[in-house]
């Protein structure tokens, strides 16, 4: 008599490794693999104190040619900045992101080549990658719709809206009847241009950002504070400088300042967007959101170097929005060098400032800073508004995890300074009974 064999389901071993944004904010890079496939989530640049930190130049802790697919959560350089390097060193798989991220990443990466060339010359190093390497990466890139299924071996991957910036996504990978979600950067609530992060059905693991895991953002008062900073600077007949990231923060500021002028809450003064990258990004925002940014009254877009220099000829009061958001490069440095020493002027910080960055030193109260090799006194007023961050704060992060607590078993907290990550991890353990850990660079776990 033939004896039937019991049904046996063999679970494949799946390993998760942390190769960036572990106990720090930049360099986002996570490897998910089983015996058949290797998936990379993000491939970001390590930043600060320079635009390109020395670790960005180091060899990848995996073989680029062995990666089957790369999924990108959004276009910020600390998530995307090493993609051309990955391709240069042998990656030939597919790159997947949302359509908007594909468009934004191309201009972000091509813009970064100019900064990389300057740093390479200054440090007498080989340039990390060129525009040609960016073009090779774009040839492997494919934009996908939200919730569309992508199969990579035994992994099934879908995108969900993260609410952080235009095109930002969470990446949900299903395997062995489990689901792991890479949140990328989760968005702040009450944002003008983005919706809140959408819920995901039955996640088991989160690899989750914790940038503001120990802080609560200002909410309604942020608008009043912006209004008062502008009013005070105009009253002093000064210059208001706003270092801002090219994606989301800049576009939100343009709308807010325009609305304040329309509603006669602030006087009509010229506003200069002095950043070629921000201007190109704003065109993409206009394409996807249908907002006519370039027709806003009193807004001036300085695309060329000559147009940027002419800003100096315009008498104050005036408002200048320029990159980079952490004052690690870009045209904001020229304005800070010129205007920081004047007590009638103001510097408004509306973005996260990483440790070691020039912006962080100013935010922490430095009275003198070095810009382009010259010591510059900081006599102007320095203000910070955290409510304009595109990152979720502690309350939003906590509520997002609580909404998924029925199935969630473990949270890996990344993209954060240690203090913020460990503070948030403790709250998850104490109030939700969910295991939360803060991985170190190079850690690997079986899931």
Question: What domains lie within the chain, and their CATH numbers?
Answer: 15-215+390-446 (3.60.15.10), 221-388 (3.40.50.10890)
Whether the Cβ atoms of residue 388 and residue 249 lie closer than 8 Å to each other? yes
Which distant-in-sequence residues (6+ apart) come within 8 Å of 331 by Cβ? 274, 275, 302, 308, 322, 323
Q: Residue 218 and residue 229: Cα distance in Å, rounded?
A: 15
Which distant-in-sequence residues (6+ apart) come within 8 Å of 288 by Cβ? 100, 166, 167
Which distant-in-sequence residues (6+ apart) come within 8 Å of 132 by Cβ? none
Q: Residue 261 and residue 240: Cα distance in Å, rounded?
A: 15
Q: Residue 388 and residue 218: Cα distance in Å, rounded?
A: 8
Whether the Cβ atoms of residue 242 and residue 350 lie closer than 8 Å to each other? yes
Question: Quick count: other Cβ atoms within 10 Å of Cβ 21?
Answer: 27
Of 337, 344, 295, the closest CA to residue 318 belongs to 344
Encode pLDDT of 243-279 as tens digits. 998 999 999 999 999 999 999 999 999 999 999 999 9
Q: Is the peptide bond before 223 cis (omega within 30 degrees of 0)?
A: no
In this predicted structure, what is the pLDDT of residue 190? Answer: 76
In this predicted structure, what is the pLDDT of residue 16? Answer: 98
Write out the H or E segment, with its range, that includes residue 374: strand 374-377
Q: Residue 345 and residue 315: Cα distance in Å, rounded?
A: 12
Q: Per-residue pLDDT tens, the chain, 447 aa: give them.
A: 333 444 334 557 999 999 999 999 999 999 999 999 999 999 999 987 676 678 899 999 999 999 999 999 999 999 999 999 999 999 999 999 999 999 999 999 999 998 889 888 988 999 999 999 999 999 999 999 999 999 999 999 999 999 999 999 999 999 999 999 999 999 988 788 998 999 999 999 999 999 999 999 877 678 899 999 999 999 999 999 999 989 999 999 999 999 999 999 999 999 999 999 999 999 999 999 999 999 999 999 999 999 999 999 999 999 999 988 899 888 999 999 999 999 999 999 998 888 889 999 999 999 999 999 999 999 999 999 877 778 999 999 999 999 999 999 999 999 999 999 999 999 999 999 999 999 999 999 999
Encode pLDDT of 371-430 as tens digits. 999 999 999 999 998 777 789 999 999 999 999 999 999 999 999 999 999 999 999 999
Which distant-in-sequence residues (6+ apart) come within 8 Å of 160 by Cβ? 146, 147, 169, 170, 171, 172, 181, 197, 198, 200
- pTM of this structure: 0.90
> Where in 42-103 does DSSP place strands (E)?
69-71, 94-98
Of 275, 250, 269, the closest CA to residue 314 belongs to 269
Q: Residue 239 and residue 236: Cα distance in Å, rounded?
A: 9
Per DSSP, 68 falls in state -
Q: Residue 241 and residue 318: Cα distance in Å, rounded?
A: 9
C-alpha angle with apex 280: 277 to 284, nearest 5 degrees?
A: 130
- Residue 334: what are its φ and ψ, rounded to 5°? -65, -40
In this predicted structure, what is the pLDDT of residue 4? Answer: 40
Of 21, 9, 8, 7, the closest CA to residue 416 belongs to 21
Q: Residue 80 and residue 28: Cα distance in Å, rounded?
A: 8
In this predicted structure, what is the pLDDT of residue 378? Answer: 98
SS3 241: strand
Of 90, 183, 99, the closest CA to residue 141 belongs to 99
Q: Residue 430 and residue 424: Cα distance in Å, rounded?
A: 10
HSE-up of 250 (CA within 13 Å, CB side)? 32
């Amino acid at each position: 008599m033939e004896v039937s064999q019991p049904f046996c389901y063999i679970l494949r071993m799946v390993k998760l490794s942390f190769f960036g944004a572990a106990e720090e904010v930049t360099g986002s890079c996570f490897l998910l693999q089983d015996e058949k496939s290797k998936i990379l989530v993000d491939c970001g640049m390590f930043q600060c104190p320079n635009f390109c930190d020395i670790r960005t130049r180091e060899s990848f802790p995996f073989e680029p040619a062995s990666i089957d697919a790369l999924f990108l959560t959004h276009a910020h350089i600390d998530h995307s900045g090493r993609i051309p390097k990955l391709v240069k060193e042998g990656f030939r798989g597919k790159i997947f992101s949302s359509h908007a991220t594909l468009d934004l990443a191309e201009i972000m990466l091509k813009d970064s080549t100019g900064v990389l060339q300057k740093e390479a010359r200054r440090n007498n190093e080989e340039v990390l990658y060129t525009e040609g390497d960016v073009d090779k990466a774009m040839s492997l890139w494919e934009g996908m719709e939200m919730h569309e299924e992508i199969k990579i071996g035994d992994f099934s991957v879908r995108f969900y809206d993260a609410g952080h910036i235009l095109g930002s996504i969470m990446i949900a990978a299903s395997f062995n009847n489990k689901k792991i979600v890479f949140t990328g950067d989760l968005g702040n609530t009450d944002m003008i241009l983005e919706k809140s992060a959408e819920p995901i059905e039955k996640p088991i693991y989160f690899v989750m950002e914790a940038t503001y895991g120990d802080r609560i953002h200002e909410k309604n008062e942020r608008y009043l504070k912006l209004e008062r900073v502008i009013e005070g600077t105009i009253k002093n007949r000064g210059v208001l400088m706003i270092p801002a990231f090219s994606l989301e923060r800049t576009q939100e500021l343009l709308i807010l300042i325009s609305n304040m002028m329309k509603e006669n809450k602030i006087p009509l003064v010229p506003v200069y967007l002095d950043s070629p990258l921000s201007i190109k990004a704003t065109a993409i925002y206009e394409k996807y959101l249908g907002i006519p940014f370039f027709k806003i009254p009193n807004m001036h877009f300085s695309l060329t170097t000559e147009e940027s220099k002419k800003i100096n000829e315009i008498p104050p009061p005036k408002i200048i929005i320029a990159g980079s958001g952490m004052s690690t490069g870009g045209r904001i440095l020229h304005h800070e060098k010129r205007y920081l020493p004047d007590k009638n002027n103001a510097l408004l910080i509306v973005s996260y400032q990483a440790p070691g960055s020039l912006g962080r030193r100013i935010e922490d109260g430095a009275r003198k800073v070095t810009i382009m090799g010259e010591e510059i006194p900081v006599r102007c007023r320095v203000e910070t508004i955290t409510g304009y961050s595109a990152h979720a704060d502690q309350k939003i992060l906590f509520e997002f995890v609580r909404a998924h607590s029925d199935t969630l078993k473990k949270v890996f907290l990344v993209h954060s300074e240690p203090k913020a990550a460990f503070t948030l991890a403790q709250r998850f353990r104490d109030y939700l009974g969910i295991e939360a850990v803060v991985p170190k660079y190079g850690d690997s776990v079986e899931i």
